[in-house]
Amino acid sequence: MKDLIENEYAKFWTEKDILYFVYKKGISIDLSAAMKVVEDRLLLQQGKAFLIFCDMRGVKSVNKSARDYLAIEGSVLIKAVALLVNNPLTNTISGFYIKTSNPAITTQVFTKEEEALEFLNNLNSE
């Protein structure tokens, strides 16, 4: 299994049954970007389901078609997602995504990395 994948939108790696997903600073996510990050994430996972730590602090915007894609096709091989945000804009984007796209898997938004990882580690121990 590959240890790290990086593309123009994000960097992905796995550590202790958690897949870390960090978007690059200033990124706007449209459908083609969403498809690329899902494709690369699935390549890294190689058929194994993971808990996902998704750092969205660099995200500037996510359009509706990207949100819809991530909520359905983007949920493949994901056990749960912790979204890390750091400002009102990414918090609003994340909350809007959860409310309108209704992702198929458990998704929670956090402003502190420690709390996000605690949430995932608690799920991992169940």
Model pLDDT, residue 106:
85
Neighbours of 45 (CB within 10 A): 20
Helix axes 88-101, 64-71, angle to 10 degrees: 60
Angle at 26 between CA 108 and CA 31, to 5 degrees: 70
Residue 114 burial by Cβ neighbours in a 10 Å radius (0-12, 13-18, 19+): exposed
pLDDT of the chain, 126 residues: tens digit per residue = 558 999 999 999 999 889 999 999 999 999 999 999 999 999 999 999 999 999 999 988 889 899 889 888 888 999 999 999 987 666 666 666 666 556 668 888 899 999 999 999 999 776
Domains of the chain by range and CATH?
A: 4-124 (3.30.750.24)
Please name the residues in contact with 31: beta carbons below 8 A apart, sequence gap of 6 or more: 63, 65, 66, 69
Please name the residues in contact with 87: beta carbons below 8 A apart, sequence gap of 6 or more: 57
Instruction: State CA 42 to chain mean position distance.
Output: 12
Q: Is 73 left (phi over 0), alpha (psi -120 to 50) or beta?
A: alpha
Model pLDDT, residue 110:
92
